[in-house]
Amino acid sequence: MAAESRTTVDHDEIRTWVERHDGVPARVVGTESQEGVGVLRIDFPGGATEDELEQMSWDDWFAAFEDDRLAFLYQPPRDDGEDTTFVKLVDR
Reduced to 3 states (helix: H, G, I; strand: E, B; else coil), residue 10 is coil
pLDDT tens sequence across 54-79: 999 999 999 999 999 999 999 887 77
Amino acid 1: pLDDT: 46
pLDDT band at 2 (very low <50, low <70, confident <90, very high): low
Residue 28, amino acid: V
pLDDT tens sequence across 15-64: 999 999 999 999 999 888 877 889 999 999 877 666 799 999 999 999 99
Per-residue DSSP letter, 38: -
Query: What phi and psi, each to the nearest 5 degrees, are found at residue 32?
Result: -70, 155
Please give the distance of CA 84 from its chain centroid, rounded to a whole number. 13
The domain spans of the chain are: 6-91
Written as one string, the DSSP assignment of 58-69 is HHHHHHHHHHTT
Amino acid 36: pLDDT: 82
| 72 sits in which H/E element | strand 70-74
pLDDT tens sequence across 3-15: 588 999 999 999 9
Q: How many residues does the chain have?
A: 92
Query: What phi and psi, each to the nearest 5 degrees, are found at residue 25?
Result: -70, 145
Amino acid 65: pLDDT: 97
